[in-house]
Amino acid sequence: MQKILLTFVDDIYEDLELWYPKLRCEEAGYAIRLAAPEIKTYQGKHGYPAKSDLLLKDAHSEDFFGLLIPGGFMPDKLRREAKVLSLTREFFEQGKLIAFICHGGWIPISAKILKGKRVTGSLGIKDDLENAGGIWVNESVVVDENLISSRTPLDLAPFGKAMVDFLDRNVADTSQHSHGTESMLSIESLSKGA
């Protein structure tokens, strides 16, 4: 089975918080599918485009090894989608990676999975995280079991490293992280929507 992660995308996502972890994970041999309400190109907060390649309604947690939730204003919009919340809860219950950064924490808040968990995020949602039962920690990256959280784009390097470290420890891979042509072709195919 190919090592694939899921991420949510919609307009006004935080550009760096999607693209840096996506590219970092691809470098480590993990592909990322972009799920959205529609198959189209979405615009980031700073204008960078991201083309979805999977409808939210067709996404199934069992097909993925983890979930990336970038920030921006996108999480505030998507947390109103029942499918987004159910997927997030399923990843959590299955012990799979849930990585969120900045305002991405709005989705785990609405999915009600943070009670008693150590988390961080944008200072702007600190109260929201605490009101959801999370234990706020002001650090660049916080890992609590399968939850990995970071504050802002300034924390992307440790965030990306923590994601890859978690995946490398927890994803059974019979190819022992083969980075050969076959893996790269699969990632390129997904990037092109093939």
Residues taking part in catalysis: 102-103
Please answer whether residues 106 and 75 qualify as being in contact, where contact means their C-beta atoms are separated by less than 8 angstroms.
Answer: yes
Rounded to whole angstroms, how far apart are CA atoms 161 and 172? 18
Q: Residue 120 in contact with residue 150, Cβ under 8 Å?
A: yes
User: Rounded to whole angstroms, what are the CA distances from 40 to 37, 51, 54, 96?
Assistant: 9, 6, 10, 27
**If you search the block for the tokens 């470098």, which residue do you land on?**
27
